[in-house]
Amino acid sequence: MTLIAVLSGDGIGPEVTAQARRVLEAVDAGLQFEEAPVGGAAYLETGLPLPPQTLDLAKRADAVLFGAVGDPKFDALARAFRPEAAILGLRKELGLFANLRPAKLFPGLEDASTLKREVAEAIDLIIVRELTGDVYFGEKGQRRTEDGRRQGYDVMSYGEDEVRRIARIGFETARTRGGKLCSVDKANVLETSQLWRDVVNEVAGDYPDVALSHLYVDNAAMQLVRDPGQFDVIVTGNLFGDILSDQASMCAGSIGMLPSAALNGDGKGMYEPIHGSAPDIAGRGKANPCAAILSAAMLLRHSLARGEDAGRVEQAVARVLADGARTPDLGGELSTEAMGDRVVNALG
């Protein structure tokens, strides 16, 4: 039996996740689903954004389908009680260290990209971002220097094992795609990056079939907008990956189109759209469910080893877009549910 935890959360989370679940049900009627509250919805019910029973479900399940969390009405709460704390808790408890963010422009959406049509058309890449190390988790604080001035610091550090495991995910991902991996660092300035580059080069010995290149992050940022078509898979650290993946997503059109996965290396993963809970449009059937549906496709591929079914879902999304199906964010009038209907009907 395959169990999928459905944590749909706040705002448009439940609306888009419902469509993703329908698509999974249409692909395989045998999948089991179990829902649990998370984020602001969970806080209102239980006093915690990530209640123990929700965490327990996420641990028992084969994969987690996540919607979105957050609402401005919780901004005054202490950090540990805010809806966003649920995502960090899930990442930590499930050991999710690899964040996969594909950026692909679907035919028909060229005008939604911030890039010129002929440049945008070529985007089909995936960023593999390390999620548990780097400046986010090094020693940090504020102090006074001897002359009494304030100073802030965040230590950037990576252990070789952390680099090795994310490098492997990068190479494995490249193997299933175009066979090209670009590792992004700042090895001309940072010790962390020199270690990163050394370890990636070592791991490359196990993947002679993958063409490896290295870029400094400043150059990578420039190349991403100049000629994104040159990239297949990019592997990078937590900080650089955070910045580059947001940049890549804008090149690829609407925020309502882009999925993501957070993986732990043993097949467990959490799958969610890159967008947030969008309180401004929640409850009105206006949200684009494609990012959630494409996240479900990633779930099929990475947690259930069903790449063929994942491809069917992605092709169904491509087909309905090519036929002109558009939610309001893409300039159309289809409701969230009507878009979900189209995709379900287009499954080959």
Please confirm, yes or no, whether 136 is among the known catalytic residues: yes
User: What does 280 interact with, of Mg ion, ligand ATP, none (CB < 5 to 8 A by kind)?
Assistant: ligand ATP
- Which residues contact residue 17 at a Cβ distance below 8 angstroms, ignoring those fewer than 6 apart? 6, 8, 9, 65, 66, 67, 292
From the list 28, 198, 206, 246, the catalytic residue is 246
Binding of residue 253 to ligand ATP (CB under 6 A)? no
Q: For ligand ATP, which stretch binds (CB under 6 A), given 116-124, 216-224, 243-251, 286-294? A: 286-294
Shortest distance in whole angstroms from residue 234 CB to ligand ATP: 21
Q: For ligand ATP, which stretch binds (CB under 6 A), given 92-100, 184-192, 264-272, 275-283? A: 275-283
Shortest distance in whole angstroms from residue 49 CB to ligand ATP: 13
From the list 186, 207, 232, 329, the catalytic residue is 186
Please confirm, yes or no, whether 186 is among the known catalytic residues: yes
Cα 35 to chain centroid distance, Å, stands at 21
User: What does 281 interact with, of Mg ion, ligand ATP, none (CB < 5 to 8 A by kind)?
Assistant: ligand ATP
Contact residue for ligand ATP among 27, 61, 281, 310 (CB under 6 A): 281
**Nearer to Mg ion (CB atom), residue 276 or residue 340:** 276
CA gap 39, 16 in Å, rounded? 16
- Which residues contact residue 80 at a Cβ distance below 8 angstroms, ignoring those fewer than 6 apart? none
Shortest distance in whole angstroms from residue 194 CB to ligand ATP: 33
Shortest distance in whole angstroms from residue 329 CB to ligand ATP: 4
Per-residue x/- track, 16-45, ligand ATP (CB under 6 A): x-----------------------------
Q: Which two tokens stand for residue 312?
A: 């069917």
Q: Residues annotated as binding site for NAD(+)?
A: 276-288
Shortest distance in whole angstroms from residue 288 CB to ligand ATP: 4
Binding of residue 51 to ligand ATP (CB under 6 A)? no
- Cβ contact 67:13 at 8 Å: yes
- Cβ contact 186:193 at 8 Å: yes
Q: Which two tokens stand for residue 202?
A: 């070592």
Q: For Mg ion, which stretch binds (CB under 5 A), given 23-31, 70-78, 107-115, 268-276? A: 268-276
Binding of residue 246 to ligand ATP (CB under 6 A)? no
Give helix 307-322 / helix 290-302 axis angle, nearest 10°. Answer: 160
Catalytic residues: 136, 186, 218, 242, 246
